[in-house]
Amino acid sequence: MTKVSRLPGAQTHHWDWQLEGSCRTVGSEVFFRPANEGRAEARQREQAAKRVCAGCPVRLECRRHALATQEPYGVWGGLTEEERRVLLVRREPGEIMPSAA
């Protein structure tokens, strides 16, 4: 579950970047794993999501959000759940987004 205490306040300027996301033109099923998805299907779905993210004008804002709030599910900013977990483990104390990301 997303750590709600890490979410920014209700001011819209914290969220306006989402209006520019390339993902808005694609169904959420590309970014989030269904319960019965196999490994091969997951890899294909994740690659499709990453292709959408690759050309997204707000990819870094999305990635920062996912790392800062520790989003547990889906592809955010071109990173899978596992890729985000690895980056969070490697980050420096107090760092929101690892510099290598």
Which tens digits make up the pLDDT trace of 2-14?
A: 676 666 666 666 6
Structural domains counted in the chain: 1
Which residue positions form the known binding site for [4Fe-4S] cluster? 23, 53, 56, 62
Note whether residue 97 is domain-resident.
Answer: no
Residue 100 confidence class, pLDDT cut points 50, 70, 90: very low
Note whether residue 9 is domain-resident.
Answer: no
Note whether residue 6 is domain-resident.
Answer: no
Which residue positions form the known binding site? 23, 53, 56, 62
Note whether residue 57 is domain-resident.
Answer: yes
Which tens digits make up the pLDDT trace of 10-56?
A: 666 667 888 899 999 999 999 999 999 999 999 999 999 999 999 99
- Range in 42-51, 55-64, 88-97 with the lowest mean pLDDT: 88-97
Domain extent at residue 40: 14-90
Give me the torsion for CA of 9, 12, 14, 19, rounded to 10°: 140
Helix (H, G, I), strand (E, B), or coil: what is residue 76?
strand
Helix (H, G, I), strand (E, B), or coil: what is residue 79?
strand
